[in-house]
Amino acid sequence: MRRAYLDCNATTPIRKEARAALLEHLDAVWGNPSSVHSFGHRARMAIESARESVAALLGAEPRDVVLTSGGTEANNLAIYGVARAAAPEARRIVSSAFEHPSVDRVLHDLESRGFEVVRVRPDASGRVDARAMVEAAEPRRTALVTLMLANNETGTVQPVDEVAKALRGTGIPIHCDAAQGAGRIPVDVSRIGADLLSVAAHKMGGPQGIGALVVRQGLRVEPHLRGGGQELNRRPGTESVALAAAFGAAAEAARTGLGSEAARIAALRERLERGVALMGVGARVNGAASPRLPNTTSLYLPGVVAESLVCALDLEGVAVSAGSACSAGTARRSATLLAMGLAEEAAASIRISLGPMTTEEDVEAFLGVLPKVLERTSARTAHGVRSPS
């Protein structure tokens, strides 16, 4: 059975450039980057080269890029680090109501420690109102504003730049979780206006287990871990040279192919959405009225149970998701869609996310098996599900 992988927002297959860099550095560059001898120097040069590639993708200065174990650690370091460094009277954090769990669960923990968290709900189109975010961020009382660049379930792009522009000069730091956007749409930390920006290598064709946090020069961030002085004293621990090199290679490949790759993937997504619409099953795309990532579709299919549909599609060789991989494995409704006010859709929507390795054949495979899978998993057989030919 040919298998189609359409869950790239959970993780992407590793790019050939990243795999080659990973294997090369595992075999040949194994010194400790903090050692002063030639082996350590070679490892240090590999780390710094990777840092430069990541910085180039994000429009950042290499000196501002802190390597982490992934997007989750980057988000934790940003939020805890700024909260701990904030003035005593700054006990408010402003966020959206549908952030990734690696942000939202940190905010819940800070609430238990006396912080006030204001969560601004998105509208039904999946976009947060920038004015509401700004109005909630009272100067001197607010330690941080954190807003994702693009939602991991719907792909809707958020107005981080508008929020940052409105708050410029207030002294309130802006954190942006850009894990889903980096490598898929242009991301320039200066243009966005974020003081902190988090990314994960495995969302852009790099390896799992490494990410980065961009920290604006001069911003005080208390380390979340204690140990050595690596990563400018912000993230202790011996760096993984091979993972860093692979991350750098993935970032470089994503940067150089960004325009053509995004256009190709967007065309595949349009074919997929059009094909499902032609089936006549009452499907809708959640967040279709908002700007979206070119690779992401949140598809509402009335009358189905999302988890059952995901399992049925997997049996037919097609991998999709019922929402965030970090909250999967349960029968809960999508917190993202609930935050958007889409209660019915929250239990009957699947996420389809494409990537650099996605082909036309993958999309056609999904469209080919969906009608018969819907017949087995829904009560709408009598409605005459049609093939999208």
Please identify every residue annotated as catalytic.
Answer: 326
Q: For residue 113, what are the contacts with CB-CB under 8 A and spacing of at least 6?
A: none
Residues with Cβ within 8 Å of residue 189, at least 6 apart in sequence? 58, 59, 60, 176, 197, 214
Angstrom distance (rounded) from CA 271 to CA 358: 13
Contacts of residue 368, defined as CB under 8 A and 6 or more positions apart, other chains included, come to none
**3-class secondary structure, 341:** coil
Angle between helices 306-315 and 360-377 (to 10 degrees): 120
C-alpha 371/C-alpha 323 separation (Å) is 21
Residues whose CB is less than 8 angstroms from the CB of residue 284 and which lie 6 or more positions away in sequence, other chains included? 299, 300, 345
Q: For residue 300, list its beta bridge partners.
A: 284, 349
Task: Evaluate whether 302 touches 380 at the Cβ level (below 8 Å).
Answer: yes
Distance CA 41, CA 22 (A): 18
The edge-to-edge listing of strands for the beta sheet with 142-146 is 65-68, 211-215, 196-200, 174-177, 142-146, 92-96, 116-120
Distance CA(5)–CA(388), nearest Å, equals 20
